[in-house]
Structure 1
Amino acid sequence: MLIEETVWIVLSDGCRLAARLWRPRAPAPVPAILEYLPYRRRDRHRGDDAILHPGLAAAGYGAIRVDMRGAGDSDGTMDDEYTPQEWADANEVIAWIAQQPWCSGAVGLIGLSWSAFNALQIAATRPPALKAIVTVCGSDDRFADDMHYMGGALLNDNLQYGATLFTWLAPPPDPEIVGERWREMWLARMQAISEPPAARWMRHANRDGYWRSGSACEDYSRIEVPVLAVGGWADGYTNAVHRLLSHLSGPRKGVIGPGAHAYSHVATPGPAFDFIGLAARWFDRWLKDVDNGIEAEPMLTAWMQEDEPPRPQYSVRQGRWVAEDTWPSANVASRTLHLGPGGLAAEAALPFAVTVKSPGTVGLASGEWCPYGWGPDMPGDQREDDAGSACFDSGPLDAPLEILGRPDVTLSVTVDRPEAILAIRLNTVAPDGTSARITYGLLSLAHRDGFAAGKPLVPGERIEVSVPLKVVGYRVPAGHRLRVAVSTQYWPLTMPLPVAATATLTAGALTLPLRGGEGAAVPELGTPWSPPPLEVEVIEAPARGRLAITHEVATGRASVEVVRNLGAIRIAETGLELRALGSETYTTRRDDPSAATSVALRTAAFRRGDWQVRIETRSTLTATVTGWRLHAEYEAFETGARVFAREWTIETPRAGAPGSAEP
């Protein structure tokens, strides 16, 4: 294949975008597959590019990786994610690609995470040359199903990812590519940071126009091209696959494996599958018009997880592949179990009252909101969290249950405070007492009537709420019990409210989507294959996940230490040394959630010979009576000397907090 390290794409306003291109040595033009994101092609994302794009080129495509405006070696500045400017630029890029002499005129989009989101967003703008997309570990709903909020509750991932983007909004371009302009471009990028991204996202605490913009679920009819949606049960973004299959009208397929947040040919836990081969077949059908029969295969293929002892890290997840011809599937039916003083039962319970006021440390077994599979970041044994929750157990199951879809819990509840959250976990309890989380959901009770606006609770007033849990595929063995665990804390997955609430439950029901029968024949997904990994010298290995949990007996203080390292490497191809390191420390008190603090540290450093630059950020989040307080520090250094520094302290009203102005 031919590899072009830097291809310049000049937009209509004169902005130049930097791209890297892999294409086969073909006598005739070939279709192109674009991945378009801000994660720098020369360094930060080079390893990911190496194990995907050469494989697409080997399948007969021009694979092109474009750094967005303001990222990598591209011109301009960047201040936020998923903007109209991002989509407008993408339309110009797609048109430019289609006009190249090596391109047949047909273009596809592929992406993971950021580029999975914008693949859907760009498809909704209908660029004429775009013929199909593959979206992996992304979302069609920016408010309800991203790492900012869940059920209207503020996630601590809003801070951790906000800190990451804060750090990577403005690193310098590579002097080897842009020359002496690099310093001027770097300073312009840093000066363009108007505020830490985490603060902006907290300011939009309801589902307003900010979140609706770029949420494909607002109008699925805008997406007309064929869509292949791929996810993993360990990832944070599995819900979108089922929604896309349910609501899109054009050709569509969904595959959900067992893996975390990564392309499925390299994702852990395994087993992985031949994602490059699957993507190539999808693009062959719609970009090359190859009659390969992929549209006749089942609409949904999913890994049905077998129950096994819960661990914070897996190399392989036990289970089997299942398939359904359509989604929603007639092979999946609802069954309702009612909550009562005796647990979960088929019949509604007599009136009861169960009260729960969870310790501030409930949630320590939650795992990360978005696991990556590189370290201990998945949910462990739930027994300690169950002890601080109101639990409703079924009897031992007479026969196995296969759950495939989205469970739902409804509750009648009264709360003694104007603010509260509910965390609901569906667990399976083994005969030895081990409790494994099947799935979970959150709801900020300020959003009990919907996400358009938050409002305080009336203490003592009974309310009816519905809490959808995350989509899941899980086989519960005979002899196990189902458990619904309800808590008023879920730390550190959420940022806790400053006052602990007591909730009294008086009725409730669990609705399960249960799969019956054999379903459709499972298509061949193939053995995972990847091009050779990037040649690097590893200085510090990548690592993600919870390193340590500490309890202070005398004070009730608890802390969680998290590592967030992409690693430190020396890249042979570019002669560049990259450091992308980070950590978080979350603290709280068992009896005083107002003491909770979340701190995120990040470092991005680049070195080649005498050229040395470094960015360091620190982000600290605390709660106030009516809102959130974020203090953020940004420093940049060239050859050890500080060249830029700025601090922000921003207080944001909390949706539904008593006495707060509406955000």
Structure 2
Amino acid sequence: MSRVIQSMSMVLALFASAAVYAAPEQPVAGLSTVAAGVGEYRRDEPFIYRQAIRRSVYVTMRDGVRLAVDYYLPARDGKAMRGRFPVVLEYTRYGRSRPLPGGGTKNDKYSPTDARGLMSISDNAIRSELLLAYGYALVVADVRGSGASFGPSHAEGDDIEGKDGFDLIDWIARQRWSDGTVGMLGSSYLGEVQPRVAAEKPPALKALSMVYAFFDGPNSAYAMGGIFRSGWQGGWVQNVAKLDNRSTDPNAPITNISAVDADPKQVLLRRAIEEHRTGVDDEYFKHLDTFKTVGVVRDELPFIDHYQLKGQNNLYTVLDRVNANGIPTLLSGGWHDIYANDMLLWYANLSVPRKLIYGPYPHGKSGPAPNDPRDIERDRLVTRETLRWFDYWLRKVPNDAERRPAVQFGLQRDPRHTEWFSAEGWPPRQAQYRDLYLSANVSNTVLSQYDGSLSGSPDKASSSQPWTVKYDASVGSLGTRWGGNVYDVAVTSNDMRSLTYTSPPLARDLYVAGIPVVKLWLSSQNAADADVHAYLTVVSEDGTSRLISDGLLRASHRTLGQPPYRNFGLPFPSSKSADIAATPPLSATPAALEFTMLAVGRVFRQGDRLRLTIAGADRGNTLGEERDPAPALAVHLGEATRSVLRLPVLGDTSESPFLRGEP
């Protein structure tokens, strides 16, 4: 038996009966399908309905503001079915539907409807369209201030979304086609709005399916370690302005937003768009000057840790209300998502009935090509598990949804092969941290500012590697993790502008699942403060370095504090004003900087090399002060100053993972 097979067998044995990886029975375009029924629920059952009828109306909220709503009912022979159905609600800021030139509408997640409102349900239906096929009704609503809904546009996280959600669900429960039970489904914004609604405790809301929702934005997606992630947020703000038609000529034809059925000449739609323009209060972007110099200071933005002084509140601040209301929640996350840590934190902090599914998936599309089979696998898996969850909690189908493994996660071996496991909780009990020490020994793998190594033990001799910050360093659009093409993208050019520490080739496959930690000992000759960007990459035999994870910390934010929630005992920079003021400036004396990276789920293969890259900027993605002259820094190594990368490894960590010849 080869070392590869031995290694895989060892890791699978650690999971014993919990392991769920198996040979695929129904591969999807070369991908392994997940085993133990994950994503396979009712897969062999034919659709109950092959058609749906769409209608649209305005629904009036408690304060008189009207929200635009599309609702879809299962149909046969072009006619809506009579009867009462459990209802799936998607509550969106991204447009419930847009008009088609020949009549009808299109929501990019579903098949189009014709001029009569008739949808033919695709054989490859995913997301809510698939639930329609199995006898659910679907409601898609534009949040207040967006799409065709009235009201001024508001900052993300305004508590009005939760109150409106309560009113929407109350309206749904009273419709003749509703059986009085509602589940919410959605990704990103559509996932984040769900706990805001759940906190209001609508009586008819019986289950949630949250996909890719942030938990503590200023410690992951919006910022890390005090460094503001300006790139993707600026793009998001511009994008929703276009979707809301706030940034277009008020007299231009409206082609991106569907009017409701009773408004064929778009009179009400134009009035709604005018109301959108009277709002827009994006709190974060009022503070860019402070973010650039001081950083994201949590107690100077009180809405971060307190619900609800202003918009864009952290979702953990409604956690007590969500837990008290007890609504069962299915959580789905992705190792390549911008919220890679957040969905793990949701699982750790919810006390409601819950399950967690994690796969090697991004926030958007997997790659530049359309219909990437990895996206098909992700959408099918999440949809089928949501169907199982809603069947149990809304329909009371005895399908053992609540008795299935608490956590199921897939580790990418390569772009076309994922290995799946289950665990009793998170982190898995088989996960242990493996320390890889930064070493002064040259790896001879890259022409960087210093070509150091990663080693299983610290250097005996003390040393330091000089490092001058290059402000044009960048990982490009990959650094946003928001759009597509996040798999297997080369970042070798960024490594060459930075410090690098590269391991010897792996002696065996290395299974990594969890949140890495970096600890650096840093000194400076000329700068009181500096930004540190750490990147974990995998290096192939041809020397190409591909990004796996990243983490950020501004040196003045290095004082650690107690997080206001469970965070697995990981380092948590407080980013409080008093701690920042009391933190000594960088100097010739090394200071310890300890911080987390975004979570990793990966099988690093035998022969791969791991690399930790240290940079001082990520142009286009983060906001920092560019000093002249640039900071002259140094990373310190050796027994007394153990700079280290800590990886959460599944299996035995007592033996070196590297081939002989390790420095």
**Shared fold (TM-score greater than 0.5)?**
yes
What is the alpha-carbon distance in structure 2 between the residues aligned to residue 367 and residue 255 of structure 1? 24
Map of 2:241 onto structure 1: 166
CA contact (8 A) 1:32 1:64 kept: yes
Match of 2:389 among 282, 287, 302: 282
Match of 2:140 among 50, 58, 65: 65
Unaligned runs of 5+ in 1: 308-315, 518-663
What is the alpha-carbon distance in structure 2 between the residues aligned to residue 130 and residue 65 of structure 1? 15
Q: C-alpha displacement at 1:68, in angstroms?
A: 1.2
Q: Does 1:440 align with 2:550?
A: yes
Q: After superposition, what is the alpha-carbon deviation per residue over 1:174-227, rounded to whole angstroms, capped at 9, x for unaligned? A: 667545344444333323345797446777832233223442334644332221
Q: C-alpha displacement at 1:302, in angstroms?
A: 2.3
Map of 1:370 onto structure 2: 481
Say which SS state the counterpart of residue 548 (structure 2) adopts.
strand
What is the alpha-carbon distance in structure 2 between the residues aligned to residue 322 and residue 289 of structure 1? 27
Equivalent residue letter for 1:504: A
Q: Does 1:43 align with 2:105?
A: no
What is the alpha-carbon distance in structure 2 between the residues aligned to residue 409 and residue 221 of structure 1? 31
What is the alpha-carbon distance in structure 2 between the residues aligned to residue 219 and residue 54 of structure 1? 30
Map of 2:14 onto structure 1: none
Unaligned runs of 5+ in 2: 1-50, 75-79, 100-105, 112-125, 247-253, 308-312, 442-452, 560-573, 653-663
Q: Percent of aligned pairs with the same residue? A: 25
Match of 2:633 among 503, 506, 511: 503
CA contact (8 A) 1:269 1:317 kept: yes
Q: Does 1:479 align with 2:554?
A: no
Q: After superposition, what is the alpha-carbon deviation per residue over 1:271-314, rounded to whole angstroms, capped at 9, x for unaligned? A: 6142322211111111111111122222222221125xxxxxxx
CA contact (8 A) 2:513 2:601 kept: yes
Pick closer, same or farther for the CA change 1:35–1:182 going to 2, 3 Å.
closer
What is the alpha-carbon distance in structure 2 between the residues aligned to residue 65 and residue 252 of structure 1? 24
Q: Does 1:21 align with 2:71?
A: yes
What is the alpha-carbon distance in structure 2 between the residues aligned to residue 220 and residue 187 of structure 1? 35
Equivalent residue letter for 1:272: E
Map of 1:353 onto structure 2: 464
Pairwise mapping of residues 404-419 of structure 1 onto structure 2 (< 5 A)? 404-415=513-524, 416-419=526-529
Q: Does 1:211 align with 2:285?
A: no
What is the alpha-carbon distance in structure 1 between the residues aligned to residue 499 and residue 365 of structure 2? 38
Q: After superposition, what is the alpha-carbon deviation per residue over 1:400-452, rounded to whole angstroms, capped at 9, x for unaligned? A: 21000111111121233233211111222334323222221111223222223
Pairwise mapping of residues 508-587 of structure 1 onto structure 2 (< 5 A)? 508-516=643-651
CA contact (8 A) 2:155 2:282 kept: no
Q: After superposition, what is the alpha-carbon deviation per residue over 1:534-590, rounded to whole angstroms, capped at 9, x for unaligned? A: xxxxxxxxxxxxxxxxxxxxxxxxxxxxxxxxxxxxxxxxxxxxxxxxxxxxxxxxx
Map of 2:227 onto structure 1: 153
CA contact (8 A) 2:155 2:283 kept: no
Say which SS state the counterpart of residue 412 (structure 2) adopts.
strand
What is the alpha-carbon distance in structure 2 between the residues aligned to residue 93 and residue 30 of structure 1? 16
Q: C-alpha displacement at 1:354, in angstroms?
A: 1.6
CA contact (8 A) 1:365 1:385 kept: no
CA contact (8 A) 2:54 2:70 kept: yes
Map of 2:40 onto structure 1: none
CA contact (8 A) 1:107 1:287 kept: yes
Pick closer, same or farther for the CA change 1:58–1:359 going to 2, 3 Å.
same
Q: C-alpha displacement at 1:97, in angstroms?
A: 1.5
What is the alpha-carbon distance in structure 1 between the residues aligned to residue 513 and residue 277 of structure 2? 46
Pick closer, same or farther for the CA change 1:158–1:475 going to 2, 3 Å.
same
CA contact (8 A) 1:419 1:445 kept: yes
What is the alpha-carbon distance in structure 2 between the residues aligned to residue 193 and residue 218 of structure 1? 23
Say which SS state the counterpart of residue 218 (structure 2) adopts.
coil
CA contact (8 A) 1:406 1:472 kept: yes
Q: C-alpha displacement at 1:167, in angstroms?
A: 3.4
Map of 1:400 onto structure 2: 509
Say which SS state the counterpart of residue 352 (structure 2) adopts.
coil
CA contact (8 A) 1:70 1:170 kept: no
Structure with the larger strand share: 1
Q: C-alpha displacement at 1:31, in angstroms?
A: 1.7
Q: Does 1:385 align with 2:472?
A: no
What is the alpha-carbon distance in structure 2 between the residues aligned to residue 203 and residue 43 of structure 1? 39
CA contact (8 A) 1:333 1:513 kept: yes
What is the alpha-carbon distance in structure 1 between the residues aligned to residue 338 and residue 282 of structure 2? 26
Pick closer, same or farther for the CA change 1:263–1:86 going to 2, 3 Å.
farther
Q: After superposition, what is the alpha-carbon deviation per residue over 1:136-180, rounded to whole angstroms, capped at 9, x for unaligned? A: 12211222222x323321221122222223334454776675453
Q: C-alpha displacement at 1:20, in angstroms?
A: 0.6
Equivalent residue letter for 1:451: S
- Larger deviation: 330-339 or 405-414? 330-339
What is the alpha-carbon distance in structure 2 between the residues aligned to residue 263 and residue 437 of structure 1? 16
Map of 2:418 onto structure 1: 319
Map of 2:404 onto structure 1: 297
Pick closer, same or farther for the CA change 1:451–1:128 going to 2, 3 Å.
farther
CA contact (8 A) 2:145 2:275 kept: no
Match of 1:127 among 202, 207, 231: 202
Q: C-alpha displacement at 1:116, in angstroms?
A: 0.9
Pick closer, same or farther for the CA change 1:185–1:222 going to 2, 3 Å.
closer
Pick closer, same or farther for the CA change 1:42–1:202 going to 2, 3 Å.
farther
Pairwise mapping of residues 128-277 of structure 1 onto structure 2 (< 5 A)? 128-146=203-221, 148-155=222-229, 156-171=231-246, 177-178=262-263, 179-193=266-280, 198-199=285-286, 205-207=296-298, 208-212=301-305, 213=307, 214-218=313-317, 220-223=319-322, 224-262=326-364, 269-270=374-375, 272-273=377-378, 274=380, 275-277=382-384
- Larger deviation: 180-189 or 495-504? 180-189
Match of 1:337 among 436, 441, 446: 436
Pick closer, same or farther for the CA change 1:115–1:267 going to 2, 3 Å.
farther
CA contact (8 A) 1:22 1:53 kept: no
Pick closer, same or farther for the CA change 1:145–1:419 going to 2, 3 Å.
same
What is the alpha-carbon distance in structure 2 between the residues aligned to residue 317 and residue 306 of structure 1? 8
Q: C-alpha displacement at 1:365, in angstroms?
A: 5.8
Match of 2:585 among 438, 442, 458: 458
What is the alpha-carbon distance in structure 2 between the residues aligned to residue 467 and residue 448 of structure 1? 8
Say which SS state the counterpart of residue 47 (structure 1) adopts.
coil
What is the alpha-carbon distance in structure 1 between the residues aligned to residue 284 and residue 432 of structure 2? 42
Pick closer, same or farther for the CA change 1:154–1:247 going to 2, 3 Å.
same
Q: C-alpha displacement at 1:243, in angstroms?
A: 1.5
What is the alpha-carbon distance in structure 1 between the residues aligned to residue 338 and residue 268 of structure 2? 39
Pick closer, same or farther for the CA change 1:202–1:159 going to 2, 3 Å.
farther
What is the alpha-carbon distance in structure 1 between the residues aligned to residue 52 and residue 502 of structure 2? 60
What is the alpha-carbon distance in structure 1 between the residues aligned to residue 86 and residue 371 of structure 2? 25
Q: Does 1:34 align with 2:63?
A: no
What is the alpha-carbon distance in structure 2 between the residues aligned to residue 369 and residue 317 of structure 1? 23
Pick closer, same or farther for the CA change 1:246–1:79 going to 2, 3 Å.
closer
What is the alpha-carbon distance in structure 1 between the residues aligned to residue 479 and residue 488 of structure 2? 8
CA contact (8 A) 1:379 1:437 kept: yes
Pick closer, same or farther for the CA change 1:124–1:286 going to 2, 3 Å.
same
Match of 1:92 among 157, 167, 176: 167
CA contact (8 A) 1:233 1:259 kept: yes
Equivalent residue letter for 1:298: P
Say which SS state the counterpart of residue 424 (structure 1) adopts.
strand
CA contact (8 A) 2:162 2:198 kept: no
CA contact (8 A) 1:365 1:384 kept: no
Say which SS state the counterpart of residue 480 (structure 2) adopts.
coil
Structure with the larger helix share: 2
